[in-house]
Amino acid sequence: MVSTFHGLETSKRSILTQATALHTVGNNISNAATEGYSRQRVNLKSADPVYVPGFTRLNTPGQIGTGVEYSSVTRVRDSYLDMQYRRENQDLGHFTVVNATMESIQTIINEPSDSGLSAVMNNFWNSLEVLNRDPNLLSARVDFIGNAKNLVDTFNKIGTSLTTLENDIDSNVEIKLNEANSLLEAIAEMNEVIRKTEVLGDNANDYRDQRDLLVDQLSKLVDVQYTEDVNGMMNIFVGGAQVVAGNEATPIAGPDTVTGGEVSGYAKAKEEIELVRSQLNALVDTFVRGEIDITMPNGYRTSTIMVAENDVQVTDANGVVTNYAAGTSIPAGSNITSSVTFKVNGFNGVHQLGYSINTPPETGLSFFVSSDNSVPFTINNIAVNGDILADTNKVAASGQYTMNGTAMETVKGNSGVALALAMLRDAKFTFPSTMTALSSGTTDDYFRAFVSDLGTRSQIALTGLDRSKNMVDNVEIRRQSVSGVSIDEELTEMLRFQHAYNAAARNLTAVDEMLDRIINGMGTVGR
């Protein structure tokens, strides 16, 4: 036989429990759109029935149930999906940054376009053709120098833009590392709170949600490995070093140890910029100074001792022809009248062979100089020789001079050196093998290969970004499927609990009426 108020107690328990369940449903619905929230479930179980087996049990058939109670409030979360998400998120962070940088680099290089380096180089070479056509024409000289200045300015501009991009990346890395460190602080605090809550036997559902959200955000910035200890505290490792141990957070040492996420993306971005810069530097240096054979088909008049690569004929003032074999020294002042091939050092080397048309004529002028006087030439330090900029007559297009007594006079209509300079366009330079797979080719070939290479690497970054975005989205969808709040589901649950609540209340009223009859109605005969 059970106690008088057994029914009341059962109904009361039911009402309270259903109310709790309804509160949780209400909590779920309110948090349906909260980021990182996982739905919570009240786990109902039937309360322990009476009577407990033992000698003190009553001799009536049992057991009789005593209602419902809830054993725990848990959140529905799949930690394996969390792990997958954080892994893919690192790649997403990495590729987002790398892709953004490659886009910036492509904008700086500005190909294909009418104003990019390719178009400027076209104009430069074409103005050499014009100079060759009429070396005396002042407008041809001015045009040529203008185009050379434009070329040099374009290189310099690219160099400065790349440097600015690098500086931006450096400051961004600082910011991201600070962000990561503050996330680590927050996680450590959460660890402490969760430990305190769970040691008392509760499930720290909302705090765990918050901590998981923080770790998600961290995984985008850096690579994370984590384990959970027996007290519910999460220990986090970044780049192999422990950064969160319980409730203490150590700042990340530096960007070099990080192997995933946006911070590693920045490191890769800097590598890409460095590669682009080196490839362009190799182009500039080889073009200006690279060893090359040039042929002057209409001969040349030497002003110093020179060695030719082929057999040549020298005609002196009296018409006497001497033959010089390849490799033998040809004296200064010799008038070479056959086609001659020299080994020179790049554009500067060819220009140095030429004779200017100012008085007295000069030879050995370098067309390009380094603005900080350092070698090798780079996109930052290449500049046109200031003397030539100031005086167009110093463009040494001519390869012939005559002797007027002891004074040298340049043959102004000769364009031998201008022709050789123009022919450099088709000359096959040897580029450093570390910079490119193209071992020998013209400057045009090299630049085209450079742009194609940049395009391929950018495409790789773009594909990586697309792929990781898809992966992250897919994992997120699966996470939502497990932990997300479905309004329809919650409403159905709400109906369930609501009916149970109403029924329990009805039941309570029925038991109340019963008790009322006993207490107020029994033993009052005839009243």
Partner 1 sequence: MRITSVMKNTQLLRNLRNNNTEMLDWQNKLSTGQKISKPSDDPVGVGYQMRYTTELARNEQYLANAKTGYGWLSQTDSVLQQANSILQRLNTLTNQAANGTVTPEVREQIRLEVLQLREQMVTVGNSTYDGRHIFNGQMTDVRPYNSDTAADDVTDSGVYYLSVSPSVQVAVSLTGAQVFGEPGADDNIFKLFDDIAQQLEDDDQDAISGSLDKIMAGIDKINLNLAETGARMNRFELVESRIGDEKVSLTTLRSSVADVDMADAIVQLQLQQNVLQASLSMGAKISQMSLLDYIR
Q: Is 134 in the site for partner 1 (CB under 8 A)?
A: yes
Helix, strand, coil fractions of the chain, as percent rounded to 5: 55, 15, 30
C-beta separation of 181 from 217 below 8 A: no
**What distances in angstroms separate CA 321 from CA 196, 313, 317, 438, 480, one per listed residue?**
104, 6, 10, 43, 92
- Which 25-44 residues touch partner 1, going by CB under 8 A? 32-33
Position 45 contacts partner 1 (CB under 8 A): no
- The answer to whether residue 426 forms part of the interface with partner 1 (CB under 8 A) is yes
Among 9, 69, 111, 185, contact with partner 1 (rule: CB under 8 A): 111
Near partner 1 by CB under 8 A, which window of 47-55, 138-146, 273-281, 442-450? 442-450
State yes or no: residue 448 binds partner 1 (CB under 8 A): yes
480 binding partner 1? (CB under 8 A) = yes
| Cβ burial 451-481 (10 Å sphere, 16+ → b, else e) | bebbeebbeebeebbeebeebbeebbeebee
Binding mask 70-109 for partner 1 (x = CB under 8 A): --------------------------------xx--xx-x
Distance separating alpha carbons of residues 306 and 48, to the nearest angstrom? 111
495 binds partner 1 (CB under 8 A): yes
Token pair in block for residue 394: 């110093």
Measured from the CB atom, is 196 or 425 closer to partner 1?
425
Is residue 488 close enough to count as binding partner 1 by CB under 8 A? Answer: yes
Interacting residue with partner 1 among 359, 452, 502, 509 (CB under 8 A): 452
DSSP track, 296-353: ETT-EE-SS-EE-SS-EEEE-TT--EEEE-TTSEEPTT-EE-S-EEEEEEHHHHHHHH
- Of the pair 9, 476, the CB lying nearest partner 1 is at 476
Q: Which stretch binds partner 1 (CB under 8 A): 17-25, 153-161, 384-392, 455-463?
A: 455-463
Q: Is 226 in the site for partner 1 (CB under 8 A)?
A: no
Whole-angstrom distance, CA of residue 454 vs CA of residue 457: 5
Report helix angle 261-289 to 79-109, nearest 10: 20
3-state DSSP of 18-51: HHHHHHHHHHHHHCCCCCCCCCEEEEEEECCCEC
Q: How far is the CB of 473 from partner 1 (least distance, A)?
A: 6
To the nearest whole angstrom, how small is the minimum distance from the Cβ of residue 349 to partner 1?
19
Residues that bind partner 1 (CB under 8 A): 32-33, 102-103, 106-107, 109, 111-112, 118-119, 122, 125-126, 129-130, 132-134, 136, 297-298, 400, 411-415, 419, 422-423, 425-426, 444, 447-449, 451-456, 458-459, 462, 473, 476-477, 480-482, 484-489, 491-492, 495
